[in-house]
């Protein structure tokens, strides 16, 4: 299980092929007087693809990504890619950060220096972390599973093996979206290894959504149940597809960069705190680099497979006793009721963020880094 240095370098042939595809697009029509309500808006996508084709510089972005110390390590037949940046402080606390979908390890790109070197950003060096950011199996530069069975539960086991290989017996963990699930399974199954966990969401709470016992729910929990049902009906089509027929979806999105961009961008617009305008939160380069991670690794199909695995093979989670910090960003989707969180997690810090959406550390890296530092401060001893 040797750790090896990793350097991103995409072949010229792959980039030339992408350029060819961007030059030969067959666009669909869009109904007059319609915008984003039926899906990704045509004029916006055409404008972004024009920038992608004529101005976007992957080599420049590749060079920026390679400034991080990156490695791979084979765990359970998966070649796991990860960033490992050492903290600059007297006693850095190791922390493993897990991303979700449709983001990637780049979710934490802006936050890494804030955690490794807080003193350079007006913080206390005592709050420094050794930061480990792996790419989930089948995401980005981690290899794709060859057989079924890799779900959040299994990934949590893999992360403990990775941290052992890196020499960390006790560590912190944080995550959002799919990363929240992995982090909670870490805490549930390996509590002796965890100092604490920090979460920005808990996914869709199916036990509340499917509960027939509304009399024993709090008002906040009843409201959550209504909101969750409405959200799934209006926004959850991707879940139904990816958790039932991910392979069918993979053919189109693996073959068309525009189709891939459309699938991902719609979620970034719907789930971020951008008020319907992606440019309020993300630059064109930022969005395209995110899409490029999926394109150059051809992993949109394997990332969708994780929805199938998590829908069909995850064991239930009991109450988690590891100290838990919750940072809830105001524009995120389906914020959990506090009563439910306190019944199921040992919540020792609860922060209502004034802004920010689902892509937490991408949208508000300073707010999130501050909260992580504050949560772990009393746990470091």
Residue 336 has pLDDT above 80, yes or no: yes
Strands, E assignment, the chain: 3-6, 70-75, 78-85, 93-98, 129-134, 171-175, 194-199, 320-329, 345-353
Say whether 81 is catalytic: no
Q: Which residues pair with 327 in a beta bridge?
A: 351
Does residue 184 sit within a domain? yes
Catalytic residue among 99, 358, 370, 376: 358
Mean pLDDT taken over the chain: 97
Question: What is the C-alpha to C-alpha distance for residues 295 and 253, in angstroms, rounded to an integer?
Answer: 9
Residue 101 lies in a domain: yes
Our count of domains for the chain comes to: 1
pLDDT at residue 286 in the model: 98
Beta bridge partners of 72: 4, 81
pLDDT tens-digit readout, 81-116: 999 999 999 999 999 999 999 999 999 999 999 999
Residue 243 to residues 209, 249, 273: CA-CA distances in angstroms?
18, 11, 26
Number of H helices, E strands in the chain: 16, 9
pLDDT at 131: 98
Give yes or no: 76 in active site. no
- Which residues are 350's β-sheet partners? 326
Catalytically annotated residue among 103, 127, 177, 285: 177
Domain at 286, CATH number = 3.40.50.1820
338-381 tens-digit pLDDT: 999 999 999 999 999 999 999 999 999 999 999 999 999 999 97
User: Residue 8 falls within a domain, yes or no?
Assistant: no
**Domain hosting residue 77, numbered range:** 42-379
pLDDT band at 216 (very low <50, low <70, confident <90, very high): confident
117 catalytic per annotation: no
| 23 in a structural domain | no
Given 307, 332, 370, 376, which residue is catalytic? 307
- Sign of CA pseudo-dihedral 301, 229, 356, 34: positive
Q: Tell me the C-alpha distance between 97 and 175, whole Å.
A: 6
Assigned domain for 235 exists = yes
Among residues of the chain, what percentage have pLDDT more than 70? 100
Supply the pTM of this predicted model.
0.97
Q: What pLDDT was estimated at residue 211?
A: 82
Q: Which of 222, 223, 204, 202 is nearest to 212 (CA)?
A: 222
Q: Is residue 19 part of a domain?
A: no
Torsion of CA 67, 178, 325, 276, to 10 degrees: 80
| 187, part of any domain | yes
Which tens digit of pLDDT belongs to each residue from 301-327? 999 999 999 999 999 999 999 999 999
Q: Cα–Cα distance between 247 and 232 in angstroms, integer? A: 22
Does residue 330 fall inside a structural domain?
Answer: yes
């Amino acid at each position: 299980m040797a750790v090896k240095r990793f350097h991103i370098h995409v072949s010229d042939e792959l980039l030339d092929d992408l350029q060819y595809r961007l030059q030969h697009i067959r666009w669909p029509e869009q109904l007059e007087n319609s915008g984003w309500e039926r899906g990704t808006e045509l004029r916006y996508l055409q404008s972004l693809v024009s920038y992608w084709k004529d101005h976007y510089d992957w080599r420049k972005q590749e060079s920026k990504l390679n400034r991080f110390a990156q490695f791979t390590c084979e765990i359970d037949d998966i070649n796991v890619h990860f960033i490992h940046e050492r903290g600059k402080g007297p006693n850095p606390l190791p922390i493993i950060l897990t991303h979700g979908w449709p983001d990637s390890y780049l979710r934490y790109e802006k936050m890494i220096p804030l955690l490794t070197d807080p003193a350079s950003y007006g913080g206390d060096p005592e709050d420094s972390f050794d930061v480990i950011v792996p790419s989930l199996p089948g995401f980005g530069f981690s290899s794709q599973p060859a057989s079924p069975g890799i779900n959040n539960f299994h990934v949590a086991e893999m992360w403990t093996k990775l941290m052992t290989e890196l020499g960390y017996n006790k560590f912190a963990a944080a995550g959002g979206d799919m990363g929240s699930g992995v982090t909670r399974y870490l805490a549930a199954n390996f509590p002796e290894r965890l100092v604490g966990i920090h979460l920005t969401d808990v996914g869709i709470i199916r036990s509340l959504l499917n509960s027939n016992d509304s009399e024993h729910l709090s008002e906040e929990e009843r409201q959550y149940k209504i909101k969750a049902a409405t959200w799934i009906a209006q926004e959850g089509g991707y879940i139904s597809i990816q958790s039932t027929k991910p392979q069918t979806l993979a053919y189109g999105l693996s073959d068309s960069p525009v189709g891939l961009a459309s699938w991902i961008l719609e979620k970034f617009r719907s789930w971020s705190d951008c008020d319907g305008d992606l440019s309020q939160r993300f630059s064109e380069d930022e969005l395209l680099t995110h899409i490029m991670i999926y394109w150059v690794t051809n992993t949109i199909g394997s990332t969708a497979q994780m929805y199938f695995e998590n829908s069909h093979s995850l064991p239930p989670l009991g109450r988690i006793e590891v100290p838990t910090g919750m940072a809830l960003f105001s524009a995120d989707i389906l914020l959990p009721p506090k009563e439910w969180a306190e019944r199921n997690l040992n919540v020792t810090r609860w922060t209502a963020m004034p802004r920010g959406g689902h892509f937490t550390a991408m949208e508000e890296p300073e707010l999130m880094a501050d909260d992580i530092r504050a949560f772990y401060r009393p746990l470091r001893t």
